[in-house]
Amino acid sequence: MAKITHVKTQRQIKLIGKNGTAMATLVSLSKHAVGVNSPRSAQIGTELELEFEIPAFQYFTTLNLLGVVTHRHNTEQGVYLTIEFDSPSVQVQKSIEDFIDYKTRLSEMGKRF
């Protein structure tokens, strides 16, 4: 079975740009990028600071990352953005991996019952 590299989720995320801040919904997470539904748009190439919390290593961990918008399209919920991380630390990558493993275990347990 192939290792899962990204998961769907529904968590709050703060997007901080040069022209303002927006609270958005984190809907997809991988070691390299996030997918978010945002009330505010951003152009491809826009640099954003990302702040969100995930359960990792049995504790809630706040992650602060820099990223660049690589995709955008309009949705019923606002604007969907893909934001690729700019050089996340090893610790951040390990925290994300642990969260992905956690979500995968939950999904597998749900399939058994």
Confidence of residue 4 (pLDDT cuts 50, 70, 90): low
Q: Where are the beta strands (DSSP E) in 1-113?
A: 6-17, 20-30, 33-38, 47-56, 59-75, 78-85
Domain with 13, as residue range(s), is: 6-112
pTM exceeds 0.75: yes
Q: What is the CATH number of the domain that holds 36?
A: 2.40.10.220
- pLDDT over 80 (residue 112): no
The mean pLDDT value for 44-48 works out to: 97
Confidence of residue 111 (pLDDT cuts 50, 70, 90): low
Tell me, yes or no, whether 43 lies in a domain: yes
Split into its structural domains, the chain has a count of: 1
Q: What is the pLDDT of residues 64-96, one digit of tens each?
A: 999 999 999 999 889 999 999 999 999 999 999
